[in-house]
Structure 1
């Protein structure tokens, strides 16, 4: 019996590069993994010259985006193709972080028989509501993202994508971003992570059909790793996702684990997360 391959789906404005420290730890524990670049990300991302220093705000607002028109369905088809190839070498465990959970849920709806297990790491697992409805809920009220200054660098409707200016030098904005992502980290760790992010993200967050479906998604063993210090996706919202999913598939509830980590802390200091994933592969 071959050991599983982990397929890792990044969160918003992220790419495969951010998973490298976790993949190193998994490899040292004897586990294969590969990190995915969703369409419009990685080396296919658009990083306009206007995004460099010194920045050109007007140019940044109008430069074309590689994420324009990219749909959740595009991301699902892309990941499904990778999973099919990885399955040639044994079972596949797909892991989604943050917004990557939306792709993960839709993937399990579409291809449940390809997946040995799916794992959410403080990731969106929409069951009873849309992302916008969850964001308007009491469980999301404590999110530090609600306190962020406007970091949009372009009109989403005109650009066809969400464009963020992560390379801002404004100290108040940087402090708010650190609180939302890596409050427990050093300033150097935070800036290193921030410089991995890409400016653009797709607008499409799917349809009600992309929420967890009991007949397909509900057949796949699933784990939720709660990040107890997460200030972006509050613990109350993570627990709501778990509760709603368990009510949807009471015969196949979430296997729930917890890590003491902010939203991206487990990527910066990945030892515990890698050990937890390794335990899932070995069980």
Structure 2
């Protein structure tokens, strides 16, 4: 895409977050001439409370609904858990998506789940990073692991802004296997690697890209959350892969 081309870009957040996480990059993308959509996944905002009922299909269906409301195909960007979400949405409704962009995200192959990808990642610091309330069917990020695992290059002020905004996440989307076929494969893919990520290691990111090759790949010397730690380089990287 040329710098002069305007696109509709949908930004899909990861687990325990909501659309607020994109606040620093939205104005930069708008200044570049793009229309930006930042949906909340179910279980936050106007889409209900966080609990066990929400599934990966419910998340994908929400993205499909929002893409339809834009009036045309969108470039959809998924961060972290947003990777399986946008993949499932593309499998169900490929005509709604011009491109899938993964930002340090779980890029699944058919039959993967978020949990199975995490289990394969032997180089991350995920152990002890979250707690599961089994009776409630939700998972939460342990506060003392937030910075080292997910926000390593962010300031203390950034973390103070993030902590009160985090929500419990339904466990079900993480354990459900993603079923992907020709529809998913028909949508072009890009990936933004984050070399300092301790939630999804760079080794695992590269393995995912090897299994599901992407047309464009960009790299940031960033932790798991470059939209907060380095919004300008993040936007530059994003625009380079769409």
Q: Same fold, TM exceeding 0.5? A: yes
The aligned runs of 1:119-134 (5 Å cut-off) are 119-127=101-109, 129-134=112-117
Q: Which residue of 2 aligns with 1:15?
A: 18
Q: Which residue of 1 aligns with 2:154?
A: 185
CA contact (8 A) 1:98 1:123 kept: yes
Matched, 1:73 2:57: yes
TM-score, normalising length from structure 1? Answer: 0.77
The aligned runs of 1:200-219 (5 Å cut-off) are 200-205=168-173, 207-208=176-177, 210-213=178-181, 215-219=182-186
Q: Which residue of 1 aligns with 2:228?
A: 267
- Give the structure with the higher percent strand: 2
> Unaligned 5+ residue runs, structure 1?
47-65, 167-172, 247-252
Matched, 1:143 2:124: yes
Matched, 1:226 2:189: no
Aligned mate of 1:92, from 74, 77, 82:
74
Q: How many residues get paired? A: 237
Q: Which residue of 1 aligns with 2:100?
A: 118
Matched, 1:278 2:228: no
Stretches of 4+ moved more than 6 A in 1? none
- The Cα of 1:3 is off from its aligned counterpart by 2.5
> Unaligned 5+ residue runs, structure 2?
none
Q: Which residue of 1 aligns with 2:133?
A: 155
* Alignment CA distance shift 1:116-1:270 (3 Å): same
**Secondary structure of residue in 2 paired with 1:17:** helix
CA contact (8 A) 1:225 1:259 kept: yes
Deviation string 1:53-89 (CA, Å, 9 cap, x unpaired) is xxxxxxxxxxxxx332111111111110110111x2x
**Secondary structure of residue in 2 paired with 1:21:** coil
TM-score, normalising length from structure 2? Answer: 0.89
Bigger-Rg structure (1/2): 1
- Give the structure with the higher percent helix: 1
